[in-house]
Amino acid sequence: MKFFNLVWRNVFRKKTRTVLTTGSIVLVLVLIVVLTCLLQAMEQDPSGNRGSNRLVVQHATGLANFLPLSQRQRIEQIPGVVAVSPQIWFGGVYRDDKPENFFGQLSCDPEIFFTKLFDDATIDPAIEKEFRATQNSFVAGQSLVNKFHWKKGEHIMLRGTYIPVTLDLVFVGAYRSGDESNAFFHNEYLNQAKWFGANRVTGIYYLKVADAADLPRVTSTIDKMFENSDAPTKTLTEKQFQASFMEMMGNIKGLIRWISLIILFAVTLIVANTVAMSARERVTEISVMRTLGFRPGHILGFILSEAVLMSLLGGLLGVVLAKYLFVPGMVKGMATTPMAPFLINFKVTGSVLLAAFLISVGVGVLAGFVPAIRSSRIRIVDGLRQVV
Amino acid sequence: MAEPLIAIEHVEKVYRRDALEIPVLNDVNLEILQGEFVSLMGPSGSGKTTLLNLIAGIDQPTRGRIVIGGKDIARIGQSELARWRSRTVGFIFQLYNLLPVLTAFENVELPLLLTPLKRAERRRHVETALKIVSLEDRMDHYPRQLSGGQEQRVAIARAIVSDPAILVADEPTGDLDAKSAEEILVLLNRLNAEFGKTIVMVTHDPKAAARAHRMVHLDKGVLHADEQTEAGAARKA
Amino acid sequence: MAIPIKYNARNLVNRKVSTGMTVLVICLVVTVFLFVLALWQGVNRTLSVNASTRNVLTMRVGSQAEMQSVVTRDAYEMIRALPGIERNAKGEPLVSPELLTLINIPRQDGKSSNVQIRGVGPVGFEMRPGVRIVDGRIMNPGTNEAIVSKNLATRFAGMGIGDRIKSGAFRWIIVGHFDGSGSAYESEIWVDAKDLQAQSKRPIFSSVFVRASDPDAAARYIETVKGDQRLKLEGKTEKKYYEEQMVTGAPIKVLAILVGVFTAIGASFGAMNTMYAQVSARTREIGTLRAIGFSRRSVLASFILEALLLCVAGGIAGTTLAFILFNLILTKPTGTMNFRTFSEVLFNFRLTPPLIAGGIAFSLAMGVFGGFFPAWRASRLKITTALREV
């Protein structure tokens, strides 16, 4: 620690240079944090990564096809199944056609939905009770409520797209969970609207199994049961179901990974160049220190510490700026794109920040390594004569 | 006669540049006693700085022995040599070579960071050293805020702060005006007389050389003359 | 009097490591930037190319995509009788009732995606001259035959001629590959409309395509449909319909801007550092140049020029790298989700000449930004102090 002062002073030897280098680290880290959060938001797991023992049954051909409601009872009878709720993705238009006003609207069976099925969500029992009792009510994720500022008792209109009816729903309260981007309303209310599939079909079945060990068995039982019917099914775990949307995003995930890696490499080069320039200008000084009795290991440590310290400063600043300035800005920037529904789950988690911080340390070590070794190997007499 | 503090025996130094071998020192023998003040003289390229570097242990000879305080420093490893330097030798450069990012105090403190001394002890040592060079009032100045003579005095304080037995100086007055140069030479004489430091100084200035007890002349890597100065004669007497 | 450019070039070559690293940084940044832009361009081109202003989609009011729409047989018959519709050689009106649905099929990479399957009739082909069979033959009605785009065949598994598509209750046999001239149809599987109605048990259509005799007639047709209370349908030109789907590319555009701006500033900081180091290392040289008689302006220009050389070298390298990447490695079409249809839209990375120019301009901008401040410092040096510098 007694050497810290020396390292610190050397980091700020040329202020412009340090500010510029730190600046480039800040920019890159902000970018990485934003991109990582974007990936995380798209991959949001409703159970908050705890695993949920939940399955989604969809039509084997894909989501665009309906399943007959008659399947519900047969699924419920499979041993190990705790609760089944038919659900319909309404996909209605709220306010106007703009993508930023789009959000997940799902019908459900309110009797069991929060109590037996989506039971890792947190909801006030009074709200849950009111939701059950009021047929035209809806509940929504807290983040979604924050976005639209819904008040209790407020009515919203959802104009159907592929289901040609308009719903008039009244807001009763919010729930909290890993995925707070959806609104839920009664299956029965949708049926009352007398659309072409009312009381006949559903989009998916959302179900819960008592024991995680039963998931594979239940999955194959369901799919076998309907294999040769008019509506064959494809049963997925909740996580797989979410992932299937991500897969649809194509290679965006891989793309973001590659971009992150390449720009990290680029910033490592920038830092390495800075450290190398700084070390080259100090050849004489380094030799003087060696003359005073500092060993090659000391010099190595000093140069490496300078690189790491500089990266760390950049990392710290980058993480703070990302969290308080750029991520909120990013959410705004994407608000008018179809990414908006995903961004409801956009949060800067501690683990992302920690990872970004560690990455900055890694950049410092990688960047400082070569110049540090070169500096430590300078022959004192050459350095004093400045021939290096 | 007393055992010499520094004994240089049949030392040769050859530099290699690509395939070319350039002999710099050729069979040099020299003994320096404890408490002596020796100046090394010679034209440029004579090998005087190389000899000084060998004595200071920042370079090692191609052949021969350099025994200092009973230890042959031509044969020891780099890490041990570094430790040995920090305890035994203080180096004074022509261009002072202070670290611009550190204050006078911090520059002098630098060698002490290699010792297990506590912060308070280090402070005491640094203050003592700066007092000896009469710069105790400039402790918090940065090198660029000091004159050349002052910078060289800080450099001397840095050289003596860990109380080494030997001081080596490479043209310590070469970049200074006459008045500052005189101050430095007086200081070196004082360190020699009062604190018993053995001093080896490279210079091409005969007036500066005359301040030493002995003048050793080198030419083309060979030791030419080794004469006692008036100061040396006076000391003996 | 200008300082010869040779002087800058030699200086850059002299410090190989530092120059090399800076050039590499700029190169990477330009490549990444072009990559994201090419992606965005690819999506947009797919959704805009060959989209006609004379082909009008007729869908249920409020539908955002064909798939969400329902048009009955009766409505189709009524549309056939509307004025302003072009007729073919046989005198039939160019009206194509089509049915769309999604199927989830495996990709070659082992994952799976939703793909639109379109039921069309012979008139549908007549209306879209951009769609041509390149391999095999056209499907015959009543045989459950399908044709797939050649792009789709490279991205999805089991899409060769003679292969069978099996998904849920759907069973199709592939008899041909078609080329859609880069349009959105290249993301689709085409089958006979009646076959699709039978297999999906839906005796309806999703949309009705109408070819108007000219753009004005198209506008009039749209008005007529809007005014007809019996139909409850609305018309949209193909061009407008796909323009609305371009929101799909919007997140990529935001991504491109974000990545572009951040990395560009970061990289020019790196270039600036290199140039500042040069100015301080060459202080004496600058003093000498000034003493010889070069003006402040010449010094300023010379250092900016050097930064530009540095960055353009990186820009050219980056563009070349992107070119190699797109033409040798990323030749297969890639896909992303079309947010309107929830199906995959296929596209190719496109490195268009404007994009290449953009990449070079991007590196020039970094050069100007990164070079100006160091050059300014160099031009402001006092000759006397500069010459005294060691």
Q: What value does the mean pLDDT of chain C take?
A: 88
CB B201 within 8 A of CB B169: yes
Chain A residues with CB under 8 Å of a chain B CB are 2-3, 5-6, 9-10, 12-13, 284-285, 287-298, 380-381, 384
Same domain, A374 and A328: yes
- For position A345, what pLDDT does the model report? 67
- Out of A230, A261, A291, a domain closes at A230
Nearest to A169 by CA among A86, A115, A99, A94: A94
**Residue A290 pLDDT class (50, 70, 90 cuts):** very high
Residue with tokens 């990545």: C259
- Bridge partner residues of C92 (DSSP): none
- The verdict on residue A273 lying in a domain is yes
Angstrom distances, CA of residue A360 to CA of A20, A309, A314, B180, C267: 15, 10, 7, 49, 17
Distance from CA of A127 to the nearest CA of C (A): 33
Distance from CA of A37 to the nearest CA of B (A): 40
For residue C271, what is the nearest residue in chain A, using CA coordinates? Answer: A270
- For position A298, what pLDDT does the model report? 94
Same domain, A183 and A125: yes
Chain A residues in contact with C326 by the CB 8 A cut-off are: none
Q: Mutate which of A95, A195, A263, A374 to test chain C, going by most C C-beta atoms within 10 A?
A: A263
Tens digits of per-residue pLDDT, C77-117?
Answer: 999 988 889 998 888 899 999 999 888 888 888 877 888 99
Polymer length of chain B: 237
Does position A68 have pLDDT exceeding 70, yes or no? yes
- For position A342, what pLDDT does the model report? 67
Which of B50, B101, B158 has its CB closest to that of A10? B101
Burial category of A225 from C-beta neighbours within 10 Å (exposed 0-12, middle 13-18, buried 19 and up):
middle
Q: What is the mean pLDDT of residues C133-159?
A: 92
Same domain, A287 and A353: yes
Q: Which residue ranges make up each domain of chain C? A: 5-48+248-388, 55-211
Distance from CA of A374 to the nearest CA of B (A): 16
Q: What is the mean pLDDT of residues C232-248?
A: 85
- For position A323, what pLDDT does the model report? 85
Polymer length of chain A: 388
Locate all alpha helices (DSSP H) within B17-163, ordered by sequence: 48-56, 78-88, 104-109, 119-132, 148-160
Q: What is the mean pLDDT of residues A36-59?
A: 73
Range of the domain at A37: 4-44+250-385
Same domain, A206 and A267: no
User: A with B: how many residue pairs have Cβ under 8 Å apart?
Assistant: 65
Contact A292 B110 (CB under 8 A): yes
Same domain, A313 and A183: no
For residue A15, what is the nearest residue in chain B, using CA coordinates? Answer: B101
Q: What are phi and psi of C106, to 5 degrees?
A: -75, 140
Q: Which residue ranges make up each domain of chain B? A: 35-59+86-236
Chain B residues in contact with A11 by the CB 8 A cut-off are: none
- Bridge partner residues of C233 (DSSP): C60
Q: What is the mean pLDDT of residues C250-277?
A: 87
Number of domains in chain A: 2
Which of B59, B101, B113 has its CB closest to that of A9? B101
- For position A205, what pLDDT does the model report? 94
- Token pair for B60: 């090692």
Nearest to A281 by CA among C266, C16, C279, C372: C279
Chain A residues in contact with B87 by the CB 8 A cut-off are: 293
Does position A367 have pLDDT exceeding 70, yes or no? yes
Contact B82 A290 (CB under 8 A): yes
Does position A336 have pLDDT exceeding 80, yes or no? no
Distance CA C24, CA A268 (A): 11
**% of chain B with per-residue pLDDT over 70:** 99
Q: Is B10 helix (H, G, I), strand (E, B) or coil?
A: strand
Distance from CA of A174 to the nearest CA of C (A): 27
| Strand ranges, E, within chain A | 54-59, 67-68, 81-87, 93-94, 104-108, 122-123, 137-141, 155-159, 166-176, 182-186, 201-202, 204-209, 233-237
List the chains bordering chain C where 3 or more Cβ pairs fall under 8 Å.
A
Query: By mean pLDDT, which of A36-45, B224-233, C343-352 is the weakest?
Result: A36-45
Contact C67 A64 (CB under 8 A): yes
- For position C166, what pLDDT does the model report? 86
Which of C103, C169, C339 has its CB closest to that of A338? C339
**Residue A51 pLDDT class (50, 70, 90 cuts):** low
**Residue B1 pLDDT class (50, 70, 90 cuts):** very low
Same domain, A273 and A146: no
Query: By mean pLDDT, which of A26-30, A161-165, A271-275, C243-247 is the weakest?
Result: C243-247
Domain B35-59+86-236 adopts which CATH fold?
Answer: Rossmann fold (3.40.50)
- For position A44, what pLDDT does the model report? 62
- For position A388, what pLDDT does the model report? 42
Tens digits of per-residue pLDDT, A198-250?
Answer: 888 999 999 999 888 888 899 999 999 998 888 888 898 887 787 777 666 66
Tens digits of per-residue pLDDT, B26-53?
Answer: 999 999 999 999 999 998 889 999 999 9
Contact A2 B113 (CB under 8 A): yes
- The verdict on residue A61 lying in a domain is no
Contact C334 A250 (CB under 8 A): yes
List the chains bordering chain A where 3 or more Cβ pairs fall under 8 Å.
B, C
- The verdict on residue A240 lying in a domain is no
Same domain, A268 and A312: yes
Chain A residues in contact with B59 by the CB 8 A cut-off are: 380-381
Which of C22, C101, C281 has its CB closest to that of A273? C22
Q: What is the mean pLDDT of residues C188-208?
A: 91
Contact C336 A252 (CB under 8 A): yes
Torsion of CA C201, C207, C209, C214, to 10 degrees: 170
Q: What is the mean pLDDT of residues A320-343?
A: 74
Contact C339 A259 (CB under 8 A): no
Distance CA C105, CA C109 (A): 12
Contact B101 A2 (CB under 8 A): no
Query: Hey, CA dihedral for B35, B39, B45, B49, is it positive or negative?
Result: positive
- For position B215, what pLDDT does the model report? 93
**Residue A269 pLDDT class (50, 70, 90 cuts):** very high
B53: contact with A, CB 8 A cutoff: yes
Q: Mutate which of C36, C114, C269 to test chain A, going by most A C-beta atoms within 10 A?
A: C269
Locate all alpha helices (DSSP H) within chain C, ordered by sequence: 5-14, 16-48, 73-80, 122-127, 150-155, 193-200, 215-227, 238-245, 250-281, 283-292, 296-324, 353-380, 383-388
Tens digits of per-residue pLDDT, B102-117?
Answer: 999 999 999 999 999 9
Query: By mean pLDDT, which of A65-69, C8-12, C47-51, C298-302 is the weakest?
Result: C47-51
Same domain, A88 and A224: yes
Give residues with Cβ within 8 angstroms of C1, minimum separation 6.
C293, C294, C295, C298
Does position A61 have pLDDT exceeding 80, yes or no? no
Contact A292 B158 (CB under 8 A): yes
- For position B9, what pLDDT does the model report? 93
Q: What value does the mean pLDDT of chain B take?
A: 92
Residues 102-161 of B with CB under 8 A from A: 102, 106, 110-111, 113-114, 119, 158
B83: contact with A, CB 8 A cutoff: yes
Same domain, A310 and A206: no
CB C208 within 8 A of CB C98: yes
- For position B41, what pLDDT does the model report? 93
- Out of A230, A262, A284, a domain closes at A230
For residue C24, what is the nearest residue in chain A, using CA coordinates? Answer: A266
Contact C263 A27 (CB under 8 A): yes
Which of C22, C262, C343 has its CB closest to that of A30? C262
Chain C residues in contact with A259 by the CB 8 A cut-off are: 32, 35-36, 259
Helix (H) or strand (E) holding C338: strand C334-338
Q: Predicted ipTM?
A: 0.91
- Bridge partner residues of C361 (DSSP): none
For residue B114, what is the nearest residue in chain A, using CA coordinates? Answer: A294
- Token pair for B148: 């050349």
Distance CA A171, CA A155 (A): 6
Tens digits of per-residue pLDDT, A141-159?
Answer: 988 898 899 999 999 999 8
Same domain, A79 and A162: yes
- Token pair for C9: 């070039």
Distance CA A380, CA A285 (A): 10
Higher pLDDT: C50 or A302? It is A302
**Would you tell me how many other CB atoms lie within 10 Å of the CB of residue A85?**
24
- The verdict on residue A353 lying in a domain is yes
Which of C21, C62, C64 has its CB closest to that of A273? C21
- For position C300, what pLDDT does the model report? 93
- For position C54, what pLDDT does the model report? 87
- For position B189, what pLDDT does the model report? 95
Quote the crossing angle between the two packed helices C296-324 and C353-380, to the nearest 10°: 150
CB B112 within 8 A of CB B122: yes
Distance CA C370, CA C314 (A): 13
Tens digits of per-residue pLDDT, A89-118?
Answer: 898 889 887 777 888 899 999 999 999 998
Same domain, A137 and A263: no
Does position B164 have pLDDT exceeding 80, yes or no? yes
